[in-house]
Structure 1
Amino acid sequence: MTVPIFYSISDDFTKYAAVSLNSLVKHANPATDYTVYFLNQDLSDEHQNDLHNLSSKNVHVKFAHIDDKLVKPIQNRKENFLRADFFTMSIFYRLFIPELFPQYDKAIYIDSDTIVNDNIAKLYNIDLGNNLFGACTDSSIQYVAKMVKYIKDVLALDPKKYINSGMLVMNAKAFRNEHFIDHFMDLLERYHFDCIAPDQDYLNEIGEGRILHLDPRWDAMPNENTEPIADPGLIHYNLFFKPWHFKGVQYEEYFWTSAKETKFYSELQSELDNYTDDERAVDRQKLDYMLSKEDKTENDPNNWARVKEREAVKL
């Protein structure tokens, strides 16, 4: 048996992914076999080598190129902007994992802005039952009033059950058997839902009622309103406050401990040192801009809440 783990990255995110991969390898069980796949469209040979060099005897690193035709229906339009800021196809790659890798009935997906602080096979061994996937409640938005309002009024979901898609334990067999990707594409092409978190909103809506909510230690996110989790299994530097751009970020020590063990440490340290206060102020403003979508989408006749009054969107 092998534990399959997937990242989706663009070339400019390699250095952060390398820090995450290093932490995953460090906490892997020597008696377990793991295969880590990097889904990408533009990863350079040099960066593939950098990531491959972090593999170990039982943690194998592979690369999967995403075919343009596969994702052609997902277009560069404002509805698909990540954090209402820019378009990146890579946020949607995770949805295609079950179709692209039919040899796996179960798979783990994690974002690249993460640190693995425990044996990730523990996640894989969780029994999903008939659920489509396991994930953690998005703790980073529970104190953001505008986001809570968006989840309630635009998505018509319970904010306490709204999951973050940066870590998923996927029931790949159920995704395939129930034609998840066909349903996703159908909704995308018919409605072009204007989402604050595009892939995440689709997962929450399509998976409603069939999401296994996991222990929050498996998606611990920096939060200025809460005490840190004492023993985080996976840390996710969600939204804008990245330890390579901001000092004093909650859980930053885990990132830098792993970063020091990679070839990218000095580059990352330099990135932090050279990031200006003006750039940090822009990052903070991006959060406000992201949330400004709420007013417009609340009145959209084809928002999630209105469409759900007319038809079922969940599987």
Structure 2
Amino acid sequence: MSVAMQSIMENASPKRRYCFFILQQNLSSENQEKLLNQVVAFPQFSLSFIDVKQYLKSYAFKIREEDKICYTAETFFRLLLPWILADYDKALYFDGDTVCRIDVAEIFDLDLQDKLLAAVREFHGAAWYYKPNKTHNQSKKIYNEVLANLQQKDDYFQAGVLLWNLAGFREDWSIEKLLTLAVSKIWRLVDQDVLNFIAENKTLLLPAKYNYTVLFSELVKYLPKYLQEEYYEAGKDPKIIHYKPWDSLAYIQHFEFFWQYAVKSPFLKIIIANMKAKDLILTTPLHRHIRKCGWKFLLKCLFSREF
């Protein structure tokens, strides 16, 4: 999150005002102070911490046991934005594993008209959806009830970068109604599924360059041609990069931009320690990793990326 904030601040216009809102329930006072000190260097920015406990007392979000390694209940917090930010008509949401290379005002200034959200398609999900001859385990793993039931399957979007029509949400939904829907079942892709379910045909679809996530090339080939072209074009010069470093032991495309901002984060030592713990930064000889994972797996990772 700190790295994402640094990238946003460095690319922002000095002539505009920006407000960070961090939704949290257990963020330590020490970490809050570090983030506040980080923001102080940019006078056009302010930072507020919002404790969401008061909104969630009667709700328990359901996440599949096997998915808890990827998702926590905090991912549902973004559903609260229209009511937490009751004095605002629009807001931008970013996942913490993103890096912005543009002034975010470029997205904020878009005219949503009657749309509830602006977002980028979920290219990864679309590729798996179109992949033929999936094994039973693959189908079970990536099956997505919401995507499968959309009128336009290609329009399922990724919720890591969102422009919210907060006023429009408040007109169409109450916080009680939305949270009741969110806890009514186990959603395969948690709050992202919830938003796709309620915002079908009410989403302004943005080009892939505004939320670019690296895919294995073996998946990209299953996308419809027009989505392939959009994806490859975005990869040449992405404006917002959504990193998934835990997905790979191989080269991570555009990761140099992550480090460009990470080295200025007050959490740099923690970032490096976490990466070492996940073997994303090798601290043991490569032959030991080969022995552990096997040559075939390692070569598959190395040669299935688009460089």
| Corresponding residue to 2:201 among 198, 209, 213 | 209
What is the DSSP-based 3-state SS (H/G/I as helix, E as strand, rest coil) of the residue aligned with 1:235? strand
Name the counterpart of 1:295.
none
8 Å CA contact 1:142, 1:148 repeated in 2: no
Matched, 1:29 2:13: yes
Give the Cα separation in 1 of the matches to 2:143 and 2:51: 38
For 1:182-221, list aligned pairs within 5 A: 182-188=176-182, 192-221=184-213
Matched, 1:179 2:164: no
Q: Percent identity?
A: 24
8 Å CA contact 2:144, 2:189 repeated in 1: no
* Worse overlay, 20-29 or 222-231: 222-231
Question: Alpha carbons of 1:251 and 1:210: their partners in 2 closer, same or farther (altered >3 Å)?
Answer: same
Give the Cα separation in 1 of the matches to 2:272 and 2:92: 29
Give the Cα separation in 2 of the matches to 1:224 and 1:170: 30
Amino acid at match of 2:238: P
Question: Alpha carbons of 1:155 and 1:51: their partners in 2 closer, same or farther (altered >3 Å)?
Answer: farther
Name the counterpart of 1:70.
55
Give the Cα separation in 2 of the matches to 1:41 and 1:138: 28
| Corresponding residue to 1:161 among 155, 163, 168 | 155
8 Å CA contact 1:223, 1:250 repeated in 2: no
1:165, CA displacement in angstroms? 0.7
Name the counterpart of 2:28.
44
Give the Cα separation in 2 of the matches to 1:212 and 1:52: 33
What is the DSSP-based 3-state SS (H/G/I as helix, E as strand, rest coil) of the residue aligned with 1:193? coil
Structure number with greater Rg is: 2
Amino acid at match of 1:169: L
1:49, CA displacement in angstroms? 1.2
* Worse overlay, 53-62 or 259-268: 259-268
Give the Cα separation in 2 of the matches to 1:99 and 1:82: 31
TM-score w.r.t. structure 1 length? 0.73
Name the counterpart of 1:259.
262
Give the Cα separation in 2 of the matches to 1:162 and 1:153: 6
Residues 189-217 of structure 1: CA distance to partner in whole angstroms, max 9, x if unpaired?
Answer: 5xx33322110001001011101101211
Matched, 1:237 2:240: no
Amino acid at match of 1:212: L
TM-score w.r.t. structure 2 length? 0.75
What is the DSSP-based 3-state SS (H/G/I as helix, E as strand, rest coil) of the residue aligned with 1:142? helix
What is the DSSP-based 3-state SS (H/G/I as helix, E as strand, rest coil) of the residue aligned with 2:38? coil
Structure 2 unaligned segments of length 5 or more: list them.
130-138, 221-231, 280-288, 294-307
Structure 1 unaligned segments of length 5 or more: list them.
1-16, 282-315
8 Å CA contact 1:132, 1:210 repeated in 2: yes
Q: CA RMSD in A?
A: 2.7
Name the counterpart of 2:298.
none
Give the Cα separation in 1 of the matches to 2:45 and 2:260: 20
Residues 142-161 of structure 1: CA distance to partner in whole angstroms, max 9, x if unpaired?
Answer: 32244775357754453310
The number of aligned residues is 257
Name the counterpart of 1:302.
none
